[in-house]
Each structure stands twice: as structure tokens, then as C-alpha cells.
Amino acid sequence: MTARAIRSICVVGDGVVGLSAAAAFARALPAVAVTIVPAEPDPAAVAEIQCATWPSIHRFHAAIGLDEQELVRAGVATHLLGTRFVDWPDGGDDWVHGFGEHGLKAGTIPFHSLWHRASRAAEAAPFWHYSAAAVLGAAGKFTHPSRDPASPLGGFLYALRIDPLRYRARLAALTAPLLRHAPFASAEHGDGGAIAAVTTADGERVTADLYLDCSGPQALLRHREDRAFDSWGDWLPGRTMVASDVAGGAIDPLDHAERVAGGWRWHSALADRTRVIALGEDEGGVAVRFGCRTPWTANVLAIGDAATAIDPLFGTALHLAQDAILLALELLPGRDFGRVEIAEYNRRCDATRVRMRDFHALHHLRSARRPLPDGLARTLEQFERRGRLPPSEAEPFETDAWIAALLGLGVTPHAADPVSGSIDLARVTHAMAALATRLTEAAERVPPYPQLLARLRAG
């Protein structure tokens, strides 16, 4: 350890986000003293209650030493291939957003350009029919991606659907060797937004070089005079959120999202129940508002909902939190907290979450006639005119996710890509029909997901 290296870290918050951070920092920095100060859970913290994740969860689990097979056997996790959207957009057909690639390129010509040309000629199935993840999920099937380059079941991605209570318990076991203090009582602020110490409920004064605020939207380490909050209310309107568990239900490898009067509902089937998260005007719900704060100030790093409050659509709240943890480890400054590292962290973190906000806004605002954020407006303009996406340095997930969402929501280019015309249309439609058939036939040979899950749990 160098003379300027961080020697101690205090994590405030012992929910999923706080324990994720503690596990990652403790494993990556074994010479650093990492301690945990529990905090009262914030009911508005989306990352603490949602079950869906993105495929990036595997990278984070590798970083902290969690094994997928262990999580599945213990009933902590099930597999997730995407989401079925019902009546979204209003009056539209159901469609599936599957993880990973859709179709196959023809040389350098992207598949969605070929699909769009065939679709204009009424010679194509819905776009999601050419996604292995979507076809498997729609059939209630799951298998790990094939390593055979000739298999139609290769190239897709999958995530995990986690049981928040069991996942938190597993993270608590992983971080059991770390020192835990009494619950948080107050924060003692120094100059420039820095924390001098944290006081616990039993009067202990906890000091550290770096403090991680994982306390949810309440952001307990934020100075009470610091009210800076960049609201996303114009694009992600705040409402009330209700999370409830429903007994029973088939274990499906797809989550379900549906429009309802005044909002929407998200269904995630867990091992022994279904979690439903509803966003709308329910009087019994907790009020939520969406937006962000500067994540890193002096020796305080806010992670999860303390830095970025995003709605429960998809599993992006936990994705953003765990991605921010890995980015902090990549750019970790010394305990002098130099401006260069912190500025770069804040810049990259902000670019990623703004792009994620735009992805959410796409699903909410296409029919709402509200002003669009600049990044989403540019994306729509480019895609509707040219069928292409503008490059983004901080794209939080694969390009196929954007293409699948745009086409699933009914956003199509105004004209066919001229490059796609270099291939005879009959050849294009024949190849697409053959691919769709191969995917369907391959899915038929895969066992139903509940049957596969039972075998995996039995080892």
C-alpha cells in the first residue's frame, strides 16, 4: 500500500447495494479496512426491491466471487431471458424484448436493416421472432448459450432474476467477516462536502478515508444544505410505487410488463412467489421521484438510489449501482481525492446513467407528447431517418437492446437502408424464414424451464 492509498472505507447502508459495495471493495482491496454501518431501509429505493437484472450481473458476480450455480441451487436466483410487453404501446401486439443478438448480419449489413426491408414488403415476422432469447422465453424454455458456432442457440445473452431477500442474505454471508457497527445516527460534515465522521446509534464515532453512501434516495451522507438534484420528472414522471408478492405462479424465464390505467405493472416470477412492482397513482404506495445527484464529492461516494433514482422498468437500478461500484474500483483515487480521478468518475457515471434514462424515456414517452431529452431525440431522429444509432461512449448495454426496443415499440425507419438493397429480397426473406424455423425447432428440443430448474437445483 502506497503512502497516499486509501486505508479505510465505511459503507453506510446494509441493503443489497451496500452489501454489494462492501463485498466488491473488500475483495478487490484486501489491505483496506472495510466496515459497515447499517441504515434504516428507504422504501423508495428501487435497487433494493426489484428482481430483474441485466446480463452485466455475471461480470459483477465474478468480481465478488458469487457462483451462478450456487445461487440457482439455493433458490436465490432464476434465469431471465428478457421481458414480454403487454399492451405496450397502447393497443399494440404483445412483443418480447430478448437479451443479446437478433438475427444474423449479411457481411457488414446489420440484420435489422434487412428485416426492415422485408417487413416493408410484408415478408417478415415480428422482429423478436429472430432472437434466440426471445423465442426461448416465449416458449417457456431456457438453456445456456451454445458454444457451437453452427447452433441457432448461440450468441444470445441472459441475466438473472434475483430474490431480493435471499440475495441480500447471501451478500450478508459473503461480507460476514467485515466489522459491523451499530445503526447510523448522523454524519459529521467537514469542509467542501467531505465527511469527518459518522456517528452510530450507540454513540460511536466511526472515521474512514472514504465513505460510501448506499442509503437509498434519502442519501444520508448528503449535507442537509446540499439539495442539488437533477430531476428527470419531465421524462420519467414520479408517481407512487407499490411492491407486493403474490403466491404461486409458473416460473417463467421472461418478466412481464403491462400498461394499466394511470401507470404500469412489472411481474417477476421467483422460486416460490411472483413479485409485482406497480407504478401509478395508488394511494397506498410510496412516493418516488426520479433523477440524479453528483455521485462523488470529496471523500463521499453515493451509489445506487443515493446517486441515481430511476424507475423500476427493467433491472437497471441494480445494474447502475453495481456498474458504478466496478467503475469506482477502476478509477479509485488516493485519500487526497484528486480532482482528476473524481471528475472522470463523475463524467463517465453521468454519461452512462443519462443514456439509461433515455432508454427508459423511450418506453414511457412515445405516446405522451412530452419533450424528449436531447440524447433520445437524437437517437430517434437518426433511427427514423437512417435506421442507425448514433455512437455513444457510455452505452450501458449492447446495441441490440436499443434496436429491439425501438422496433418493438413501433419505431421504424422512414425508408429502407439503401445498402440492404444489395441483396436480392427473395434471398433475404428465404434466409430469415429459415432462421426463424431453426430457432423454433431448436427451442422445441429444450425442456420447459421449471423442469430444467428442478434439475439444476438438484445438482
Task: Say what the pTM is.
Answer: 0.94
Give the pLDDT confidence score for residue 369 in this predicted structure. 58
Place of cell 447452433: 151
Distance CA 262, CA 93 (A): 20
State the pLDDT confidence band at 396, using cuts at 50, 70 and 90: low
Q: What is the share, in percent, of the chain residues with pLDDT greater than 70? A: 97
- Which cell is 144 given? 445456456
Alpha-carbon distances of 181 from 143, 214, 370, rounded to whole Å: 43, 15, 47
409-428 residue pLDDT tens: 999 999 988 888 899 999 99
Query: Does 77 have pLDDT greater than 80?
Result: yes
Asked, as a colleague might, if the bond just before 418 is cis with ω within 30 of 0, I would say no
Distance CA 415, CA 384 (A): 8
Measured torsion, CA atoms of residues 188, 190, 195, 201, in degrees rounded to the nearest 10: -10
Q: How far is CA 69 from CA 56, 66, 72, 251, in A?
A: 16, 9, 5, 17
**What is the CATH number for 311?**
3.50.50.60
Query: Rg (Cα) of the chain, in Å, rounded?
Result: 23
Q: pLDDT at residue 366 above 60?
A: no
d(CA 454, CA 346) in angstroms, rounded, equals 44
**What is residue 105's predicted lDDT score, i.e. its pLDDT?**
86
Neighbouring-strand partners of residue 79: 160
The percent helix, strand, coil of the chain (3-state, each to 5) is 35, 20, 40
Res 367 pLDDT > 70: no
* 127 DSSP assignment: G
Q: Is residue 450 part of a domain?
A: no
Tell me if 224 sits within 8 A of 233, measured CB to CB: no
Region 132-156: mean pLDDT is 94
Task: Examine residue 350 and state whether it is found in any structural domain, yes or no.
Answer: yes
Q: What are the start-end ranges of the H helices in 366-419?
A: 374-386, 399-408
Which residue range forms the structural domain that includes residue 176? 1-51+163-234+289-354
Domain assignment present for residue 81? The answer is no
Q: How far is CA 240 from CA 91, 103, 246, 374, 456, in A?
A: 24, 39, 19, 27, 38
CA 73 – CA 170 distance, rounded (Å): 12
The answer to whether residue 42 sits within a structural domain is: yes
Q: Is residue 56 part of a domain?
A: no
35 phi, psi to nearest 5 deg: -125, 160
3-state secondary structure of 259: strand
For the chain, what is the domain count? 1
Smallest Cα–Cα separation from 143: which of 398, 448, 404?
A: 448
pLDDT of 335 over the 60 cut: yes
DSSP type of residue 145: P
Gap between the Cα atoms of 135 and 454, Å rounded: 21
In-domain check, residue 224: yes
pLDDT of residue 2: 62
Looking at the DSSP assignment, which residues form a beta bridge with residue 29?
none
Grid cell for residue 69: 450455480
Please indicate, yes or no, if residue 322 is contained in any of the structural domains. yes
Domain membership flag for residue 334: yes
Q: How far is CA 455 from CA 74, 77, 166, 404, 451, in A?
A: 13, 14, 20, 32, 7
* pLDDT 10s digits, 226-283: 778 999 998 988 789 999 999 877 799 999 999 888 889 999 999 889 999 999 877 6
